[in-house]
């Protein structure tokens, strides 16, 4: 039924699949996670923002997003659309699993990949995904094993796709052949890249608007439309992502990490970090050491 998703699993768990047809406005809350993501546009169209670029995704498009990559989707044109999304962890099919093979993860090699499928390829992918959805509903003997087999087949199909062998067809590869980019999308990508490079400095709407020759109102509205984030949300997400890296890879004190990632003080850092990551900086560091 429209706007009532059919889901199995936890998006942050080892395996998650969801099929939904929406007719109302919808925004995702989880924009970065530890799992790999596969997104198939069944009908309608959406803006997708991945890493630092945005693309128009239409029916028949298959999108692969690597773990820990910032991404989001937003409305583009009519609200009505249907999509199927899969999230899976390394534990489900990663290194050490009997079905694992490095080539299966080629679609994630450049953080994200868009495959614009022809009608025959769409039918094949749709059939695979329909089988996966059915398995999660019926849960017959060995269904989890069959889910891994079906996922392996989907990943192998993508890894063998001609576009994967051509660097210029990858998202981020600089080609517009796979997904046309509007002037506004390009402008917002420049803003995003600036934030990614200067997250440790003071970033305010008025200064960014002046730098990119836009009014503050137009920049704020356009940024939200293209990326699905408000400007402040994206700045916070970028800073927290870098803070997570520093917490994992260094022994720097929390107060030093807060300063290096552009936060005004440790109180503000703790509050925003917990809002984005679901735990405190120290809690995150402890979990990282346990894992």
Token pair belonging to 60: 């028949």
Q: What percent of the chain has pLDDT over 90?
A: 60
Is 183-290 a domain of CATH 3.30.1490.190?
Answer: no
Residues of the chain with CATH 1.10.10.60: 183-290
**Which CATH fold would you assign to the domain 6-169?**
Jelly Rolls (2.60.120)
- In tens digits, the chain (291 residues) has pLDDT values of 456 677 787 767 899 999 998 887 766 655 778 899 999 999 998 888 888 787 889 999 999 999 988 888 877 777 888 999 999 998 898 777 777 888 899 999 888 899 999 999 999 999 999 999 999 999 999 999 999 999 999 999 999 998 876 643 444 443 333 455 688 888 998 999 999 999 999 999 999 999 999 999 999 999 998 888 899 999 999 999 999 999 999 999 999 999 999 998 999 999 999 998 889 999 999 887 654
Partners of 82 in the beta sheet?
A: 21, 43
The reported pTM is 0.77
Residues of the chain with CATH 2.60.120.280: 6-169
Backbone angles phi, psi at 130, to 5 degrees: -65, -40
Residue 273: CB atoms within 10 Å: 28
Per-residue pLDDT tens digits for 155-165? 999 999 988 76
């Amino acid at each position: 039924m429209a706007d009532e998703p059919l889901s199995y699993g936890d998006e942050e768990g080892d395996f998650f699949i969801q099929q939904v047809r929406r007719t109302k406005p919808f925004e995702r809350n989880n924009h970065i996670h530890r799992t790999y993501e596969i997104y198939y546009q069944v009908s309608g169209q959406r803006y997708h923002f991945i890493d630092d670029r945005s693309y128009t995704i239409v029916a028949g498009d298959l999108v692969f997003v690597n773990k820990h990559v910032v991404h989001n989707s937003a409305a583009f044109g009519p609200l009505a659309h249907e999509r199927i999304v899969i999230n899976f962890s390394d534990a489900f099919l990663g290194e050490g699993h009997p079905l694992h093979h490095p080539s299966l993860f080629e679609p994630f090699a450049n953080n994200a990949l868009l495959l614009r499928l022809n009608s025959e390829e769409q039918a094949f992918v749709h059939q695979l995904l329909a089988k996966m959805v059915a398995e999660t509903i019926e849960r017959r003997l060995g269904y989890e094993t069959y889910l891994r087999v079906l996922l392996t087949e989907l990943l192998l199909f993508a890894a063998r796709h001609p576009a994967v062998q051509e660097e210029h067809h990858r998202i981020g590869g600089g080609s517009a052949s796979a997904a046309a980019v509007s002037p506004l999308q390009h402008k917002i990508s420049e803003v995003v890249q600036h934030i990614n490079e200067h997250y440790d400095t003071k970033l305010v709407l008025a200064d960014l608007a002046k730098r990119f020759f836009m009014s503050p109102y137009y920049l704020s509205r356009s940024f939200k439309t293209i990326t699905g984030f408000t400007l402040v949300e994206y700045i916070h997400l970028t800073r927290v992502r870098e803070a997570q890296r520093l917490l994992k890879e260094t022994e720097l004190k929390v107060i030093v990490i807060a300063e290096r990632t552009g936060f005004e003080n440790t109180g503000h850092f703790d509050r925003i970090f917990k809002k984005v990551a679901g735990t405190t900086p120290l809690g995150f560091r402890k979990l990282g050491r346990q894992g």
